[in-house]
Amino acid sequence: MATLDISRLTPKERLDLIGELWDSLSATDVQLTPAQEAELDRRLATFDADRREAIPWEDIEAEIDRRSR
């Protein structure tokens, strides 16, 4: 395996490399702990509940346009 001197990379190049490494992993490569699974489930439930009360972007944009006239 080739060695890469990451200290010579720019911050953007390092971030791009992180993205490429992350994207190279499959779902089975990354196992969540039970605590992480529970937190993810909690956040998804909150997201679903909040989505029912959300205002569509088009409505917000129309309100901003209306107020700026």
User: pTM, whole model, 2 decimals?
Assistant: 0.47
Cα distances (angstroms) measured from residue 56 to each of 20, 29, 62: 33, 36, 10
CA distance 33 to 53: 31
Q: For the chain, what is the mean pLDDT?
A: 92
Q: What average pLDDT does range 47-67 have in this prediction?
A: 91
Dihedral of CA 13/18/21/24: which sign? negative
**Domain residue ranges in the chain:** 32-69
Distance of CA 54 to the CA centre of its chain: 19
Taking residues 11-37, what's their average pLDDT? 95
- Residues 40, 32 contacting (CB under 8 angstroms): yes
pLDDT band at 63 (very low <50, low <70, confident <90, very high): very high
